[in-house]
Amino acid sequence: MKHKIITYFFCYAIAITLIFGLAPLAYGAENGQSGLYSLEPAGVYDKFQNYVDGYSMMVDSGLLVDMNNSEVCTVLENDHKRIEIYKETLPSGVSQEAYMNYSNQFILNTADHTKEYETKTKINGCTVHILQWSREKLARVNNDKNYYASIEILSGTRDVITIFVKADTPFYMNGGYLHLVNQFSTFAPSKFAYQKQAEAVSVAGRGWNQETKDVFEKYFSGDSSLQWGIFEPSAPDDFTQLRHLETEMEYEFPFLLNYTSFENKYKHPNLAYRLENAQKNNKILELTLQTSWTASGEGNMVYDVLDGEYDEFIKDYAKTVSDFNHPVLFRLGNEMNGDWCPYSSYNTSKDTLIFKEFYRYIYKIFEEAGADNVIWVWNPNGKSFPDFEWNDAVMYYPGDEYVDIVGLTAYNTGTYYPGENWTSFQELYDPLYSEAMRIYGKKPMMITEFASSSIGGDKNQWIKDMFSRIESYENIKVAIWWDGCDWDAYGNIARPYFIDETPAIIKTFKELLNKRPLFWDVYA
């Protein structure tokens, strides 16, 4: 009877803490991590107590604690093991079973991941799901931790604590992971969460050539006015359609979005031409590089990149950009917090460090190529899919020294598919901009791509409302309209984002793109 009472209290405490114990968030370096936790010797282990989330557990001795993103995650690690702890209450309609199934879909990629153990058991009377797996070590990742375990502690019907562990040797060689959960307990949180803020860009310290410095200061300094760009599918290879659009609107877009991929393992066939043709047509390129999906059974290209298989391609790509010598906005692996991207942690073991290693590795190659004309754009999607803590955008941030501009992306996708809602520009970007400013507000921002569908509402009015609202986001310096469409599985247009869809839309863009700000004549 005594055991049952203790067990009930343990589960009840977890439920109460998860439901009612969410601490408010504090921003700013003045708060820091002081007093957010304690770490004390307790025999062969250390006892770790998190006062933000309200839990206690035994951890390996000698771990360093990182609570810079403590609203989302707590990290403990040393050279051989890393532990990430996430606590969340699932949204209505998402069951614990759905959370576990969705979170662990990566394990179906058996070309890269080897499942070693899986069980659902009771520990201290609570249901615990354990998944253990491994992958091959990656040649371009220093001290790669390629042995994994994910422990999900379930409480009530909607509460989950996820303990994510990775190590550089098999777990039987490094103390395992069951001690992390065997004495896990909860208590009432008593401290505010802390979120570290990104630091400003030091133009003098970036090592840019003079033209690139001038472009950054012209378009992305504190007093820079909003500028516009466009994605037009045929440009910069062919400017015929874009010239037609610009003639109709009597406006020349200074920025142009272009996508590239890892076409082969040696050389991008069109990169040099695209760069030169964009320059010839007075466009600053927002150059995007993404890995592609591979055929079933071939594994994930991100792993191949980090195993050195694409070194020749990346080095040639970086040299081509460097030799171009004019400013380039380089956007690597955008929307990484979306499950549709192969480089999302959803597809790579729930391990956001894989993306950060990918980003930093390519950054290093660009540095070695002497690419002093590159302005780096880091660009998560406005909403995470899945919208779980381990997939939060902040977990993908590679570090201040690797990011010059923070990109924002959110679309009004319309209502073509069941469950979609018509969403105004303000509804999309007010919360997105507010959250970005809290964390990355010292860096300039741009809307790297956005648009509205015409299905489900008045697209022309949406555009007018967008123009009236966007000027209030003073830290957004460039906005790029995505002129294209999404197709459904049957080849039908599902989301028409065309900038010239109707004469009325063309007229609206023509009027508002050329509208001068208030007091233009005074300050121009």
- Tens of pLDDT, residues 448-468: 999 999 999 999 999 999 999
Bridge partners, residue 377, by sequence:
331, 405
What is the CA angle 207-212-215, rounded to 5?
140
Residue whose structure tokens are 């990742």: 141
Residue 342 has pLDDT above 80, yes or no: yes
- % of the chain exceeding 70 in pLDDT: 92
- pLDDT for residue 19 is more than 70: no
Q: How far apart are CA 31 and CA 41, in angstroms?
A: 26
Q: How far apart are CA 392 and CA 350, in angstroms?
A: 11
Residue-wise pLDDT tens digits, 112-128: 999 999 999 999 888 99
DSSP string, 373-406: TEEEEE---SS-BS-SGGG-GGGG---GGG-SEE
What is the CATH topology of the domain spanning 2-195?
Answer: Protein Transport Mog1p; Chain A (3.40.1000)
Return the CATH superfamily for domain 203-523. Answer: Glycosidases (3.20.20.80)
119 token code pair: 């069980």
Instruction: Tell me the CB-side half-sphere exposure of residue 327, using CA atoms within 13 A.
Output: 25
Check whether 106 has a pLDDT greater than 60: yes
pLDDT for 296 equals 83
What is the rounded distance in angstroms from the CA atom of residue 477 to the CA atom of residue 445? 6
Task: Compare 521 and 90 and report the one with higher pLDDT.
Answer: 90
pLDDT band at 34 (very low <50, low <70, confident <90, very high): confident
Q: Residue 516 has what pLDDT? A: 64
17 Cβ partners below 8 Å, 6+ apart? 53, 54, 55, 186, 187, 188, 189
Give the whole-angstrom CA distance, residue 310 versus residue 365. 12
Instruction: Clarify whether 77 is annotated catalytic.
Output: no
CA dist., res. 394 & res. 409, Å (int): 15
Q: Report whether pLDDT(29) > 90.
A: no
Contact 453, 414 (CB under 8 A): yes
pLDDT the model gives residue 207: 97
The number of beta carbons lying within 10 Å of the beta carbon of residue 209 is 15
Q: Is the dihedral of CA 27, 29, 30, 35 positive or negative?
A: positive
Residue 4, pLDDT > 90, answer no
Mean of per-residue pLDDT scores for the chain: 94
**One-letter amino acid for residue 495 of the chain:** R
Could you read off the pLDDT of 133-150 as tens digits, one per residue? 999 999 999 999 999 999
Q: What is the pLDDT of residue 517?
A: 57
97 a catalytic residue: no
**Per-residue DSSP letters for 107-160?**
GG-TTT-EEEEEEEEEETTEEEEEEEEE-PPPTTSTT---EEEEEEEEETTTEE
Higher pLDDT, 22 or 491: 491
Q: pLDDT for 222-235, tens place per residue?
A: 999 999 999 999 99
- Could you give the 3-state DSSP secondary structure of residue 452? strand
Taken as a whole, the chain contains a residue count of: 524
Asked if the model's pLDDT at residue 21 lies above 70, the reply is: no
Residue showing tokens 């994910």: 150
pLDDT value at 500 more than 60 = yes
**Three-class secondary structure of residue 483 per DSSP:** coil
Where are the domains positioned within the chain? 2-195, 203-523
d(CA 24, CA 106) in angstroms, rounded, equals 33
Q: Would the pLDDT of 518 be above 50?
A: no
pLDDT for the residue numbered 215: 99
Residue 40 contacts residue 47 (beta carbons within 8 Å): yes
Strand 476-482 vs strand 445-450: parallel, antiparallel, or unpaired?
parallel
78-to-4, 142, 174, 182, 381 alpha-carbon distances in Å: 37, 14, 12, 21, 31
- pLDDT of residue 184 exceeding 80, the answer is yes
CA-derived radius of gyration, the chain = 25
519 pLDDT higher than 90: no
pLDDT band at 242; cut points 50, 70, 90: very high
Cα angle vertex 407, ends 324, 105, to 5°? 105
Q: At which residue do the structure tokens 């708060």 appear?
A: 31
Which ranges of 191-295 does DSSP label H, i.e. alpha helix? 210-220, 240-249, 271-280
Is cis: bond before 236, omega within 30 of 0?
A: yes
Residue 53 has pLDDT above 90, yes or no: yes
Whether the predicted pLDDT of 59 surpasses 50: yes
pLDDT at residue 7 above 90?
no
pLDDT average, residue stretch 154-159: 92
Chain-centroid distance of CA 450 in Å reads: 16
State pTM to two decimals: 0.93
Asked if the model's pLDDT at residue 492 lies above 60, the reply is yes
Half-sphere exposure of 53 (CA within 13 A, CB side): 28
CA-to-CA distance for 345 and 393, rounded, in angstroms? 11
Q: What is the DSSP letter of 28?
A: S
Catalytic choice (232, 335, 357, 389): 335
* pLDDT 10s digits, 395-423: 999 999 999 999 999 999 999 999 999 99
pLDDT value of position 125: 83
Beta carbons within 8 Å of 330's beta carbon, 6+ residues apart:
287, 289, 321, 366, 374, 375, 376, 377
